[in-house]
Amino acid sequence: MTFALQILSIFGLIACGWFARKRRMISGQGTGELAHIATDLIYPALVFVSILQLSADDLFANALLPALVMVIAFVGFSLGLIAVRFLGRVPAETSRAFLFHCLMNNYLFLPLPMVLFLYGERGVALLVYSSVGYELILWTLGVFLFTGKKEPFSRRIKQMISPPFVALLLGLAIVCIRDLLAVQLSGMAAALSESLVFVAQMLGQGTVAVSVIVAGSRFAVMKSQTILGWRIWFVSAIRLIVVPLAFIPLLAWLPLEPMARGILVIVAVMPSAMVSVLFSERYGGDSEFIAGGLLMTHLWALLSVPLFLAWLL
């Protein structure tokens, strides 16, 4: 029930974006500009604040978690490389969008309330830490899928060193310095630090809303044949059924505490990433296919996720 309500709330935000585009409150250009602001300003703030919630002990004790969520991503990507051969004649942008859906899922926004409900605040901290692995994949292979060979190698490297990626590295560095070197700020420095974190926290809280409104704007101009096309259903089945069935059996062979194993199960069964539309708009991908896959996987998730979790947890 908790997950279903979370999905329904996301559809409510999608409706806001759809309504804004239909009423011409936002244009196609405005959608792209909003996506640009989200990826370069709002989303980095969320990454930074999330990492600061962890301790150095958390980082070292659960070092396997980021690596294992990277395995989830690579399992999806490997399956996508096999499946993309059966898509027929499609533009290169569509093939890359297909692979992005296979690679990236909703690794933080949707799992968070479920993890909080099942495992409490410590579970949320571990979930945030596990997302480091997905962030590394997102800002390397994920960006490359959209830019492809259109950009010179030097420019692709520059794009990977993006604001969210820098925020991730900065957050990890601050946590290590703070805890390992026992650095304590006082006076004006402490007040300034708290103010900066508060601003970043307030800014980062808009990530989900902006991402979904951008998606809703894309849905408003999406062609009906896109959502009804078999390729959208194909990638949805890979994302929601094949990837979990391929990855979850691997967990039985690993020495993980029950909480960590449960978090990985929850992440593995999630639908496509909300930020996929932001990235497609930002880097010139097939936003039509991305939006269709995003919508379809979230619709399917209302059925597939509760079934998987009832079976496995």
pLDDT digits (tens, 9 = 90+) for 22-73: 888 888 888 888 878 887 888 888 878 878 887 888 788 888 899 999 999 9
> Comparing C-alpha atoms, which of 33, 49, 36 is closest to residue 204?
49
Lookup: tokens for 114: 């479920």
Q: Residue 54: its pLDDT value, please?
A: 79
DSSP bridge partners of 220: none
Task: Name the one residue in this structure whose structure tokens are 């908790």.
Answer: 2
Q: Residue 150: its pLDDT value, please?
A: 58
Q: Is the pLDDT of residue 157 over 80?
A: no
pLDDT digits (tens, 9 = 90+) for 234-275: 999 999 999 999 999 998 888 888 888 999 999 999 999 877
Confidence of residue 3 (pLDDT cuts 50, 70, 90): low
Task: Name the average pLDDT for the chain.
Answer: 84
Separation of alpha carbons 267 and 26, rounded Å = 33
Concatenate the DSSP letters of all residues of 9-43 into one string: HHHHHHHHHHHHHHTTSS-HHHHHHHHHHIIIIIH
Q: Residue 100: its pLDDT value, please?
A: 94
pLDDT digits (tens, 9 = 90+) for 71-121: 999 999 999 999 999 998 888 889 999 999 999 998 877 787 678 778 876
DSSP alpha helix (H) spans, the chain: 2-22, 28-37, 43-52, 56-61, 64-83, 92-103, 111-137, 143-147, 153-160, 163-180, 187-204, 207-220, 224-228, 230-237, 243-247, 258-268, 275-283, 287-312
Separation of alpha carbons 162 and 41, rounded Å = 10
Q: Residue 159: its pLDDT value, please?
A: 60
- Say how many C-beta atoms besides its own lie within 10 A of residue 273's C-beta: 27
* Structural domain boundaries, residue 97: 2-312
When divided into structural domains, the chain yields a total of 1
- The CA–CA distances, whole Å, from 194 to 30, 128, 184, 301 equal 33, 20, 12, 38
- Contact in structure between 280 and 211 (CB atoms under 8 Å): no
How would you classify residue 26: left for phi > 0, otherwise alpha for psi between -120 and 50, otherwise beta?
beta
Separation of alpha carbons 55 and 310, rounded Å = 32
Domain with 63 in it: what CATH number?
1.20.1530.20
